[in-house]
Amino acid sequence: MKHDNPPLLMIPGPVFMHPRIYEAFSRPLIGHRTPEFEEFFEETINMFKKLIQTKNEVFLLTGSSTSAMDSAIANVVSPGDKVLNVVQGKFSERWLELTKAYGGESIVLNIEWGKAVRGEDIARSLEKNKDIKFITICHNETSTGILNPAEEIGKVAREYDKILIVDGVTSVGGDYVYPDKWNFDILAGGSQKCVGIPPGLGMIMVGPRAWEIIESRKFIPSYYLNLLKYREDHMPFTPSIPHIYALHESLLMIEEEGFENRVKRHRIMGKATREGIKAIGLDLFADEKFASNTVTAVSYPNSIKDEEFRKAIQDKGVLIAGGQGKIKGKIFRIAHMNVVTEREILVTLSLIELALSQLGFLKNLGKGVKAADEIFFKNKK
């Protein structure tokens, strides 16, 4: 494997990282039990808490984002507990798999892939099944490019007095995620998405209603992910020190940019990508009213083969993602997370146009790039 010409990562994780993150990640290690590191670790947690405006406890787990999801279910769902799993893509489906893995009784609310789940859909399921205890959702469903109305869902969950468990893996750091205001009881996050550091860190926020359940359990079926251990000592096991350096640096960069500005930038990148795609003549996969600001999914025209198309783009140095699960081969996805700016969007759209022309779908090049650039221009005024 050669490292001298890294591709531009336009996939939904790992993402294109700022040089400051590479620098932070390669700093010399210090002992994690030193007061110096302990202080740094706490400061990092507090910066993360500030990002999501929470007063609840947050823990940093060494593991990919799924470790935070696994921890969420392992700690609160007892065998036989009824869990309403909203399934509308690959990642919301992961909650269903985890529920089953820990013996929960899953009640599935299937939503068409590419559509959002609404509060009223959830309320209907709760009316039918009064003994549901938990609700799981994926805030930003990366596999379809949908951003669910989490605030509306949180209101319903609280109205019905259910524990709401949310995957914020591709929204935290790139879009508004306010767990306290929006009534989330548990929120799972990850490192290699909108906070733009290498994969390997999971974040988990746990609210008081979830703690009540955790404290009342006789047995928690996990050792490494047992949240009581993390509450007692924020570092029960040796943390990945480079990830903590990198997360701290990233959170510093987010503060410097200003979170409002950061979200605005993500929204502009999302809008420019969608307008570019439509101008090219391709269809967006997701309902545009609930379009994600961090990832865009695009339906392939019948004549285009996924592998050929993505290879043509990859050969010119840009990596975009294919579809997953039952929509594999039917869509491709462009991520616009972390430090992405108009430069990366314009390059990606031009390569998409070039590939489509190479494959005989497109005759006139430049429409997508122009439409995206108009969005950038409008937003500069």
Ligand X SMILES: Cc1ncc(COP(=O)(O)O)c(C=O)c1O
Query: For binding to ligand X (CB under 6 A), which residues are involved?
Result: 12-13, 64-66, 91, 138, 142, 167, 169-170, 190, 199
Question: CA 264 to CA 167: how far, in whole Å?
Answer: 22
In the complex, the smallest distance separating the C-beta of residue 294 from ligand X, rounded to whole angstroms, is 9
Give the shortest CB-69-to-ligand X separation in angstroms: 6
3-state secondary structure (DSSP) of residue 242? helix
How many Cβ atoms are within 10 Å of 79's Cβ, its own excluded?
Answer: 9
163-167 vs 140-141, strand pairing mode: unpaired
CB of residue 362 to ligand X, shortest distance in Å? 29
Cα 237 to Cα 75: distance, rounded to the nearest angstrom: 18
Side-chain-side CA neighbours of residue 215 (13 Å): 9
Contact 153, 122 (CB under 8 A): yes
Nearest distance from C-beta of residue 380 to ligand X, angstroms:
30
Of 64 and 106, the one with the shorter C-beta distance to ligand X is 64
Q: What is the amino acid identity at position 280?
A: I
Q: Which is nearer to ligand X, 154 or 168 (CB)?
A: 168
Helix residue ranges per DSSP H, the chain: 19-25, 35-51, 65-76, 90-101, 119-128, 150-159, 208-216, 227-232, 241-257, 259-280, 306-314, 342-358, 367-380
Nearer to ligand X, 90 or 353 (CB): 90
In the complex with ligand X, the residue whose CB is nearer, 138 or 297, is: 138
C-beta closer to ligand X: residue 73 or 375: 73
**By C-beta, is 340 or 356 nearer to ligand X?**
340
Closest distance between ligand X and the C-beta of residue 356, in Å?
Answer: 26
Q: Taking the complex as a whole, how short is the minimal distance between the CB of residue 143 and ligand X, in angstroms?
A: 7
Closer of 56 and 171 to ligand X (Cβ): 171
**Closer CB to ligand X, 190 or 276, in the complex:** 190
Could you tell me the two tokens for 171? Answer: 């929204």
Closer by beta carbon to ligand X, 91 or else 290: 91
Give the integer Cα–Cα distance in Å for 282 and 232.
Answer: 52
Sequence-ordered list of residues with C-beta below 8 angstroms from that of 136, at least 6 positions apart, any chain = 83, 84, 85, 86, 92, 95, 96, 99, 165, 166, 167
> Minimum distance from CB of 12 to ligand X (Å)?
6
Residue 322 · residue 333 · CB < 8 Å: yes
SS3 content of the chain, % helix, strand, coil (to 5): 45, 15, 40
Residue 227 — φ and ψ, nearest 5°? Answer: -70, -20
Kind of pairing between the strands at 295-299 and 331-335? antiparallel
